[in-house]
Amino acid sequence: MGEEEIFDLAIIGGGPAGMAASVYASRYKVKNVVIAELMGGMAFGATEIGNFPSYPEIKGFELMQKMQDHAFKSLGATQKNDKVTAIHKNDAGNFEISLDSNDKVLAKSVVISSGTTHSKLGVPGEMEFNGKGVAYCATCDAFFYRNLDVAVVGGGNVALTAALHLAKFAKQVYLIHRRDEFNGELVWVDRVKETPNIKIMTNQSVKEIIGKDRVEKLILADGSELPVNGIFVSIGHKPVVDFEMNFDLARDEQGHIKVAPDMRTNIDGVFAAGDVTDGSNYFKQIATAVGEGSIAANSVYKWLQIGH
């Protein structure tokens, strides 16, 4: 791909929003490229998805592989596995996207669907033992905790499904939540309560992670100690907009990109979709990300049609 090639649309992020934007863009004959360091986004690591229409239950990596096959194999969108480091609008009104590999991509418009990253507990020991008992993806790491004791921290769907997945491998799973009620779907709450080797610990939080070479125990808010071999942090996500821009993109206090109902941002030619937007705060789900990605592609198509 040379610097002279100009895409109609560059999609930053390869999760559900980015894949949906690509599928719709291709069907509108909008020449598009999807740029992502890891195709699939956060959804790729989802343990089990039970609320995406047409699939009663499906693994995250399976669903995202189907979306990628649709976008790239069936519809022929360009795939670029790389990290975006900067987006600059040039004098011609096009967007010059710099990549970690020192390559560049030129596009007439951009959809930012860069998603989110795992929120951290921010307690002593978390960074020290990252990868040494501290984990953020149950699908990725559950196998390593076979017949061991682990803790999951969080109260949403990610935490609930992580606990259920870990229960298939671990001897004991402690589900720690700072409130007295979970905020995930009731179907997952019920399954957790029905699983014998999951112990629910509500109105509780982790204050410190202790160990020598690996995690050995947790210090809880009430001062008690909980011996575990690992801890899975599942407390939410933060928007990822970590690239340089030569324009002032409007964002909310949490860093989400502000969008209009048609996914336009305050910058002409820049659209956004999925968990990275302020609209996603209402309901962070794969289905809503797909909807926003589809709307963004439609808006890009209309924007291009009026002479941009």
- Digit-coded pLDDT (tens) for 244-298: 999 999 999 889 999 999 999 999 999 999 999 987 666 778 899 999 999 999 9
Could you tell me the two tokens for 189? 């709450």
Residue 253 shares a structural domain with residue 204:
no
- pLDDT for 141 equals 84
pLDDT at 83 over 70: yes
Residue 171 shares a structural domain with residue 229:
yes
pTM (2 d.p.):
0.76
**Active site (annotated) includes residue 141:** yes
Residue 14 shares a structural domain with residue 56:
yes
Question: CB of 51 within 8 A of CB of 79?
Answer: no
**Residue 212 belongs to some domain of the structure:** yes
- SS3 call for 297: helix
Question: CB of 246 within 8 A of CB of 88?
Answer: yes
Q: Which of 8, 141, 275, 278 is catalytic?
A: 141
Residue 18 shares a structural domain with residue 166:
no
Between 48-52, 99-103, 302-306, the lowest mean confidence (pLDDT) is in 48-52
pLDDT in tens, 98-144: 999 999 999 999 999 999 888 899 999 999 999 899 998 887 788 89
Residue 242 shares a structural domain with residue 278:
yes
Residue 183 shares a structural domain with residue 51:
no
**Residue 23 belongs to some domain of the structure:** yes
If one compares 1 and 120, the residue with the highest pLDDT of the two is 120
Residue 58 structural domain: 6-118+237-305
- pLDDT for 116 equals 87
**Residue 124 belongs to some domain of the structure:** no
CATH number at 167 reads: 3.50.50.60
**Residue 1 belongs to some domain of the structure:** no
- Structural domains in the chain (count): 2
Closest CA to 184 of 204, 168, 208, 200: 200
Cα separations (Å) of 24 from 65, 75, 82, 171, 270? 17, 10, 22, 45, 17
**Which residue in this structure is represented by tokens 């690509």?**
22
Question: CB of 22 within 8 A of CB of 12?
Answer: no
Return d(Cα 86, Cα 235) in angstroms, integer.
Answer: 29
Choose one of 182, 214, 233: the last residue of a domain.
233
Residue 229 shares a structural domain with residue 287:
no
Over residues 94-101, mean pLDDT: 97
Q: Which of 8, 137, 275, 278 is catalytic?
A: 137
**Active site (annotated) includes residue 82:** no
Choose one of 198, 233, 268: the last residue of a domain.
233
Measured at the CA of 177, the angle between CA 171 and CA 180, to 5 degrees, comes to: 120
Closest CA to 16 of 85, 70, 57, 73: 70
Q: Which of 8, 103, 140, 252 is catalytic?
A: 140
Residue 26 shares a structural domain with residue 114:
yes
Residue 71 shares a structural domain with residue 169:
no
Residues 6+ apart with CB under 8 A from 152: 138, 159, 162, 163, 166, 173, 174, 175, 176, 231, 232, 234
